[in-house]
Amino acid sequence: MRVVSLFSGAGFLDLGFSENGYDVTWGAEIEREFARAHNYNLRLRYGHTEDKVRNVSVTEIGADEIPFENCRGIIGGPPCQDFSKGNANNPGVEGERGRLVWDFLEKVSHLRPDFFLFENVAGLYTTKTHRENALFPMLNIFSDMGQVYPWAEGLRYKTYFEVLNSLDYGIPQDRQRVFIVGFKENIVNTLRENNMPEFEWPIRLTPNAKRQFNWPEPWGFGTEVDEEEFINNLEVPYGLTVHSVIGNQEELRELPNHVYFNPYSQRFHTVAEGDTARKSFKRLHRFKYSPTVAYGNNEVHLHPTEPRRLSVREALRLQSVPDWYSFPDDMALDKMFKMISNGVPYRLANLLARQIQIVMNNYDNVIQNQQVTPQAVAVE
């Protein structure tokens, strides 16, 4: 199934689709190093000989310039800083980045894919201003906003909206994000007429994990713990702990990108393990989930047991990115961390791709069966 990607980033969302059999034929990413990292991994994983992700602006490129022939979907997540709760003065849809959500929807309007997937920060929903000025109009645009936005006239999609937390899906990170999935109305109507299921969000493996379990409290940095005994007596699923993905340092040292900024502050030795309440210099707890992987605005996340920042590979693992994914060795560390912060957790992208695939396969099967004539059946 062929799809195109807008605001492709370093490719975590796209690769979740590619690993489920989708063919991401083309992508657009304005950040040059992001596009380079994405293409680098497409070559490593799939042997692509040419760059599929173009270093172009989604705003500036025309819909007729996007190679969409035989494509069925559009996926992407516009930059989210203008909706972020961490930005006290976020301007929402009035901001330079906030307006990019309309660029995404405009491309959907012109190209009319069978389905689309849109991702953004939870602030798009949790902040009243953004909810009323951006999210709700975005959802309404697929039903009755054609006269407000001329390019949306005749746009008819059934949309599904949800705020998903990665922690609920077996990923050791508290990361809430808005997702909107849309299908053409005729696809959903066809499924309903044939008593076939519509789109369903992935089943939460550990629902409400943040509040469901008795997570350990912070303790002093350097506290000696019998880790094996502690793990055996854990009251939380081990797979939701930081230790489950970065605890084996011998293994990590054998992987690419296990690099980090050199320590420069005494705070690397004094912040308690599990003290994540501060704005920066948050030290992760071995036996708890990570706060949102977001390393911009001077936010520093510290290793639980070592006086240093997290490494690039450790951050990738907290985003559930497979170990085959890597950045070029000549790429700047700050760029690597920025890409990781902006990405969709790979495992969640993978689950969403499967759910969309179920809908499209069901629809295709219905259409195929309707096209089989009685004479053709008799011949077979």
Q: CA torsion sign, 210 to 252 to 12 to 78?
A: positive
Counting beta carbons within 10 angstroms of the beta carbon of residue 195, is it exposed (0 to 12), middle (13 to 18) or buried (19 or more)? exposed
- Active site residue: 80, 121, 321, 340, which one? 80
Please give the pLDDT value at position 375: 46
Domain ranges of the chain: 2-206+346-371, 213-344
User: What is residue 254's three-state secondary structure?
Assistant: coil
Mean pLDDT of 95-109: 78
pLDDT bin (cut points 50, 70, 90) of residue 111 is: very high
Q: What is the pLDDT of residue 127?
A: 73
**Contact of 319 with 345, CB cutoff 8 Å:** yes
pTM summary value: 0.91
The residue written with tokens 């920060």 in the block is 121
Q: Which two tokens stand for residue 214?
A: 């008795």
Q: Tell me whether domains 2-206+346-371 and 213-344 share a fold.
A: no
State both tokens at 250.
């011998």
Question: Per-residue pLDDT tens for 172-217?
Answer: 999 999 999 999 999 999 999 999 999 999 999 999 999 999 999 9
Q: What is the pLDDT at residue 90?
A: 59
Pick the CATH number of 213-344 from 3.10.50, 3.90.120, 1.10.287, 3.30.465: 3.90.120
Q: Alpha helix locations (H) across 141-280?
A: 185-193, 209-212, 227-232, 243-246, 249-253, 267-270
**pLDDT tens profile 154-177:** 678 999 999 999 999 999 999 999
71 carries an active-site annotation? no
As its CATH architecture, domain 2-206+346-371 has 3-Layer(aba) Sandwich (3.40)
